[in-house]
Amino acid sequence: MPANIIAHRGLSQTHPENTMISFKESYAQGAKAIETDISMLKDGTLVLFHDYALNRCTDRTEGNIDDLVLDDIYKIDAGSWFSSDYSGERIPKLSDFLEEAKTWNIRINLELKGDGDPKLWERMTKATIDEVNDSKIDKELIYYSSFEFEILRYIKKISPKETVSCLFWDDVNNWYDKIKGIGPYSINLWDNNLSKELVLEVKEKNYPIYVYTVNSLDRARDIFEWGVDGIFTDDIRIFNGML
């Protein structure tokens, strides 16, 4: 995962997150890596959507992402909540995104969401790996992350060569014990919870550190000096000189 500036849900500062227009614009602006979120619809379709509930990033005022089937995403507006300029943007299918990304030759971070029924996690995870394989995209460009470490353990069980990263939010106590049995490439930490001491502790265990979500050039410079290896940002344009 060498790209050190990762477009968080595409160019989500200026475009509706996790939409094809957001991904395309981040690539046009020079992104060498894009992060996005995997969710599964009721009929098993894999889509790129962050939240469990639909109301924040679509025109639906109620309902959850796993209430939907494929036909629904062609009717739901996933752009006008951000700006009327993006009215009619749709929730993308993973397969459509991978088909487009094959031509870009950039790193893709697929975050597997753990909301909803834990019994569905294994089904979603296996389906994601199968869809990536079926896409014929360069597997060296794909890595997976999750806050749900059982998802990552399952990935390593069914496909041991996959690259995975452990996501932490605010609970970083005993982080090293929590990742045992996973073998992650990196530890991905929340910027609000970052400290020099934590960076040093993780680096002493020889793990790369990636930090989300950093939208300030000064902040990025500071934490890179601490030893951080990469950042996720909503606006890669800030970091054009570092791409």
- The letter for the amino acid at 33 is A
Residue 116 CA to residue 164 CA, distance in Å, equals 21
Residue 180, Cβ density class (10 Å: 0-12 exposed, 13-18 middle, ≥19 buried): exposed
Contact between 189 and 230 under an 8 Å Cβ cutoff? The reply is no
The better pLDDT of the pair 39, 242 is held by 39
pLDDT confidence of 1, banded at 50, 70, 90?
very low
Q: Judging by DSSP bridges, how do beta strands 5-8 and 33-40 pair with one another?
A: parallel
Task: Please tell me the pTM assigned to this model.
Answer: 0.96
Q: What does the pLDDT look like over 168-224, one tens digit per residue?
A: 998 899 999 999 999 999 999 999 999 999 999 999 999 999 999 999 999 999 999
Tokens at 201, concatenated = 């502790």
Q: What does the pLDDT look like over 68-124, one tens digit per residue?
A: 999 999 999 999 999 999 999 999 999 999 999 999 999 999 999 987 677 789 999
